[in-house]
Chains A and B, each alone.
Chain A
Amino acid sequence: MYKVRLWSVRRSRFMEGLYNTVNPAIIAVLKGITKVFGKKLDKPITAAEAGLKGFLFDCQMCGNCALSKTGMSCPMNCPKTIRNGPCGGVRPNGMCEVKPEMRCVWVAAWDGASRMKDGDAIKSIDFAVDHREKGTSTWLKLAREELAEDAK
């Protein structure tokens, strides 16, 4: 939801804190779940992630979540899906070149990042997304990566 999304970016520092505490907890739980159930619960877990992040950030489930690096503003809402933005077309009032009724997600991102503890993360380059991961859960990906790490 556009309004909630703007709200989340305005409270980027709070959301960052929340994210930093909740995310590891979710991932820890998911590690347990995937150990027991394998891939059986992937669908509902993915749906839960899509629902929660969709509500808060208008998450598009790209499967390459970068929220913590983009001021809590989801870059996949950019009509050009720019991951290191903004483009040069931003309107003088900060609205999007393509959708004049939407605040440029990257104007929001730099603004959000300026309030975050780890806001400088926005300055690091985010390479183009892996399109195979569209629609998949970033939570499950992180959980499985951690499991693989643990197994090493």
Chain B
Amino acid sequence: MIEEIQDAETLGTNPGDPLPQLPGHVSHGRFERVLRAGHFAVTTEIAPPDSADPDEVLTRASLFDGYVDAINATDGSGAHCHMSSLAVCAILTRAGYSPILQISCRDRNRIAIQGDTLGAAALGVCNALCLSGDDVGAGDHPEAKPVFDFDSVSLTRTLRVLRDESRFLSGRKLDLAPKLFIGSSINPFVPPIANRADQLAKKIEAGAEYIQSQYCFDMDVLKDFMSKAVDMGLTEKAYILIGVGVLPSARTAKWMRANVPGVHIPDNIIKRLEGADKPLREGRNICVEIMQQLKETAGVSGVHVMAYRQEKWVKDVVKRSGVLDGRVPWSPETEELN
């Protein structure tokens, strides 16, 4: 343990100098360690800046210090242009953070994606999340050519081939395989709701080792989905993290429901926000309550807090929910590795 702590301090902060890989682990990363140790994990999402300034990335990441186990770097989410997820991850690994590289199939073909995956691992990135990606029409460059050479399932399988078989899809051998902890996403809240557990099974069969879900504002649907997943044995094969969000007002909630693809917000949540004296506070209360219920739901291994433009509240909701059970995730100030 002492050795590990020293390693974390001396090695973990430089790209290419990751933590030692523990037996039975596929990556060198801290995120995988937290999950495999059986802790309830907390992840969040960083909004990549519209800037070439690396300090901006670090400033945004520091908002979560001590409260999250990993930070997702989005890949042109909503089909809007921002700093690339690979670059955000590289900057974060330099400071010792544990970023999750989101890879969307929208903008790159299999040649680019495999190359970027090797590059990310070379820069010290330990986690990747495979996504299909939003439609280009949803973004600020609707005239762009959508690529979609892969879908998220084929992408997941491809990363497993790179890592486990140490080769490109073409068969050409790699000298060093990328040691990545590989995940994918699921949205249990939109049709075909009856088949979403089957789709989860496909993602896991393709090689997903953890899953991060779309926003959960509907515990009834989630509980059904999770009980199916548990019955199918899927929660034994992959760690499931459920997405939660902080809604600032009924108006924003209604706007998101109507305009952001895949976001399901039931009427009772909107009513609660409408009836609240302090909607912003109520939005955080809702988030805290859902997190607490998720912690008690069989098969759920963690939460993924998405708080776009509400990032400053992530610490608050995580703290109040108590889901960390007093555990303090690593941050640049942390002296000890948990």
Which residues of A approach B to under 8 Å, CB–CB? 79-94, 97-98, 104, 106-107, 110-111, 122-123, 125-128, 131
Any A CB within 8 A of the CB of B168: no
Are B202 and A123 touching (Cβ within 8 A)? yes
A-B contact sample (13 more), CB < 8 A, given A80-B135, A110-B195, A122-B198: A80-B133, A83-B153, A84-B202, A85-B199, A87-B152, A88-B190, A88-B261, A89-B190, A89-B261, A94-B191, A98-B135, A125-B154, A128-B158
Closest 5 CB pairs of A and B: A89-B261, A88-B187, A84-B153, A128-B154, A82-B151
Quote the shortest CB–CB distance from B46 to chain A (angstroms).
20
Quote the shortest CB–CB distance from A91 to chain B (angstroms).
7
11 pairs, CB–CB < 8 Å, chain A vs chain B? A80-B146, A82-B152, A83-B153, A83-B154, A84-B199, A87-B152, A88-B132, A90-B187, A90-B190, A92-B264, A123-B198
Quote the shortest CB–CB distance from B60 to chain A (angstroms).
24
Q: Is the interface of A mostly helix, strand, loop or mixed?
A: loop
Give bound CA distance, A152 to B130, whole Å.
40
Give bound CA distance, A35 to B206, whole Å.
39
Are A86 and B192 touching (Cβ within 8 A)? yes
What count of chain B residues pass the 8 Å CB interface test? Answer: 36
Give bound CA distance, A104 to B106, whole Å.
18
Give bound CA distance, A126 to B205, whole Å.
12
- 191-232 of chain B: CB within 8 A of chain A: 191-192, 194-195, 198-199, 201-202, 205-206, 214
Are A127 and B149 touching (Cβ within 8 A)? no
Which residues of chain A are near B191, meaning CB under 8 Å? 86, 90-94, 104, 107
Give bound CA distance, A97 to B261, whole Å.
6
Which residues of chain B are near A93, meaning CB under 8 Å? 191
Which residues of chain B are near A90, meaning CB under 8 Å? 187, 190-192, 262
Residues 16-57 of chain B, each 1 if its beta carbon lies under 8 Å from chain A, else 0: 000000000000000000000000000000000000000000
Quote the shortest CB–CB distance from A99 to chain B (angstroms).
9
Quote the shortest CB–CB distance from A12 to chain B (angstroms).
14
